[in-house]
Amino acid sequence: MPKYMTKQRKALLAFLEQHADEELSARQIEQALCGDGISISAVYRNLSELQKERKVRKVTKSDSREVYYLYTDCDHCKECLHLSCKKCGKTYHMNSEGAQMLVRNLAQSDEFAIDKADTVLYGVCRDCQKKHEE
């Protein structure tokens, strides 16, 4: 827990909680919070601290050099595997039955324990697949 909660940190946390299923760049966050007087350096500084506290996950995509951040401190994110669409960038929670089966199978067959808090599977979501078919 941080020693103090600044106005900037409160605004950033509130914004991230409202966008918990989105991977956002620091620039996108700064632009959304510009009315709150938060500079890009304050966004980066706070994101770095939140990452150390494991409240935010830093994400890079294979087809981009840009860094994105995903808020993971909300209750519905804590024990979820995440699915991220490479086309639209939206992040989804994998249904718990499917996630449990995947984690269990990997633990048994490959003797590999998945860290759910840090696992993101990339692919293409249903909506983007439909758009491609049209």
Q: What is the per-residue DSSP string for 2-47? A: -S---HHHHHHHHHHHHTTTB-B-HHHHHHHTGGGT--HHHHHHHH
State pTM to two decimals. Answer: 0.67
H/E element, 68: strand 67-71
**Which one is predicted more confidently, 43 or 87?**
43
pLDDT for 11 equals: 92
Q: pLDDT of 3-59, one tens digit each?
A: 567 888 999 999 999 988 788 899 999 999 988 888 999 999 999 999 998 888 888
